[in-house]
Amino acid sequence: MQVTAERNPWPALLVLCLGSFAILLDATIVNVAIPTMVDSIRASLDQVLWVLNVYLLAFAALLITAARLGDVFGPRTIFVAGLAVFTASSAACGLAPDPNALIAARLFQGVGAALLAPQALAIIMATFPARRRGAAMGVFSGMTGLAAISGPTVGGVLVSYADWRWIFYINVPIGVAAITLTFLLVPRIRTGRRQRFDLVGVLLASAGLLGILYGLIEGQRYQWGAIGWGITIPEVIGAGVVGLAGFVLWERVRPEALLPRSLFRSRSFSVWSMLSAAPWFALAGFTLAFTINNQTVLGMSAVQAGLTVLPMTMVMVATAPFSGRLTDQLGGKYLVVGGLLVYAAGMVATAAVDSVHATSFTFVLPLAVTGLGMGCIFAPLTTEALREMPSELAGAASGVLNTNRQLGSALGSAVAGAVLQNRLSAAMHDQAVAASAQLPPALRGRFVEGVANAVSGGLQVGRGQSGGVHVPPGLPAPLAQQLQVLVHDVFSHGYVDAMLPTVAAAAAIPALGAIACLVLVRRPHRSGRVTPAPPADREPARDAATVEV
């Protein structure tokens, strides 16, 4: 790789952070606007779920394809194209007159996000010399982590003080500014080789990822059974697995594959790329359980619930750049191991201190610990995964990393949702049996049965803080009021009981990832130190990309 010494790469990094922040923010910002959207455009529950999930589906299913497009046409070109599609579709989301129009616009938002996301890492690889990449990854990872966990806060403020449409309109000035600054500050990168576009590989990879991700995201909604037309969720996931298997077989016979085989000849890249799914798995599961807890059980407003996670955000953002620099000096293996363990411990501690009387201050210390772990993970993990990757493969490699992260998030949400449903059902039954002792004997069995019916019919977390349990009409006012209080207590205490096993299941994956990292990742021969870049910021001759000023 040839890097011109006169060009300062840090302004380019800020532009990449700006674009990446917007697309990751939109993955979570919509959640807090759901009640308002339902009222404003008369969306059904099914349509609301598609507003959320179609973005994630398009985003994740096209990442590998988009990464290869960056290799073919240049990462800056595809980065700008992704920004343009994302910005235009964000405006369309804000202007959507009905749910179907909003779903269609969200689909194109996901396409734009997929085009944009892999290019940032490829550009960082090409513009920063090896001795500075850890610090650059630290800044970039801090910004992307901030986007992933600040969506509820930003969304809550916009919904409360402006209008739900502004969660989309806010992307328009950000996108226009990022496009302009990209042309001014981000260099064009040439790989020095001509690439062919593998259409069959694109179709197989996209269809396979779409099937798996659709099954994971929508599985809980259909109770892992039939979708319709005789098709079941396991069959959809199985078809996705078959599609990816066909993709692997096709790529083995292609002279110029969509995912170059040389990517996975590196044991280091293979292990680090798989590990990249672990923190996102945990974050998705933890966020799901914690957000419902704050707004449903503790009765926080959208703004307060968002501000509650501020300690985690602040510590993570403060830590990430330092962990990036330490990676440059010491290597990232033990930072990642320690970070994963601290991250998991912080999440479990946050669930352990939860109660029906908890406040935002209850969670300050464990969330700060969680943020410390996050800050020690993202930058070293990405830096180590890409450390030995030549520039001409950086786009494909970043596509694999981003895809693994999205798969981790989808799987984390699905697993956490399943565990939460299971444990909440059992906990509510136990709470109902205990609470029924306060009722007249004639009503005790009916009360427990009513809770059981609500559980079997699909819990509605957030509906009157009751889980969807209804008090039968026609009861005397004092008795009806007593039942309302008992129903609320059964749900809230049951949810607190279910919170710890749900978060523990999510946190178990990064803990296992730490063990895998210790066992599978070999310590580099340089005794933990990164080899300094050659003079004049030149990389080894095997990197063929050229950065144009």
* Residue found by looking up tokens 């809770």 in the block: 451
In this predicted structure, what is the pLDDT of residue 171? 92
Q: Has residue 85 got a pLDDT over 80?
A: yes
| Over residues 486-494, mean pLDDT | 83
Q: Is residue 146 part of a domain?
A: yes
| Over residues 22-38, mean pLDDT | 76
Give CA–CA dist 348/363, Å, rounded.
11
Domain count, the chain: 2
Q: Has residue 345 got a pLDDT over 90?
A: yes
Q: Which domain holds residue 492?
A: 422-497
Give CA–CA dist 486/436, Å, rounded.
8
Q: Report residue 463's pLDDT band, with 50, 70 and 90 as the boundaries.
A: very low
When mean pLDDT is compared across 202-206, 209-213, 256-260, 322-326, the lowest value belongs to 256-260
pLDDT tens figures, 377-408? 988 888 888 777 776 677 777 778 877 887 88
Q: Are 311 and 368 in contact (CB under 8 A)?
A: yes
Q: Report residue 190's pLDDT band, with 50, 70 and 90 as the boundaries.
A: low
Give CA–CA dist 377/338, Å, rounded.
8
Strands (E), 171-233: 188-190, 226-228, 231-232
pLDDT tens figures, 252-311? 887 767 777 777 777 778 888 889 899 989 988 898 888 888 877 888 877 787 788 889
Q: Is residue 385 part of a domain?
A: no
Give CA–CA dist 318/482, Å, rounded.
48
Q: Has residue 45 got a pLDDT over 70?
A: no
Q: Is residue 8 part of a domain?
A: yes
Q: Is residue 160 part of a domain?
A: yes
pLDDT tens figures, 500-526? 999 999 999 999 999 988 887 765 544
Q: Is residue 137 part of a domain?
A: yes
| Over residues 64-73, mean pLDDT | 83
In this predicted structure, what is the pLDDT of residue 240? 92
For the record, the structure tokens of 436 come out as: 């029924």
| Over residues 122-141, mean pLDDT | 81
Domain final residue, candidates 157, 186, 215? 186
Half-sphere exposure of 522 (CA within 13 A, CB side): 8
3-state secondary structure of 547: strand
| Over residues 320-329, mean pLDDT | 81
Q: Is residue 45 part of a domain?
A: yes
CATH of the domain at 160: 1.20.1250.20
Q: Has residue 372 got a pLDDT over 90?
A: yes
Q: Is residue 205 part of a domain?
A: no
The DSSP output letter for 265 is G
Domain final residue, candidates 186, 204, 236? 186
Q: Is residue 315 part of a domain?
A: no
Domain final residue, candidates 186, 211, 228? 186
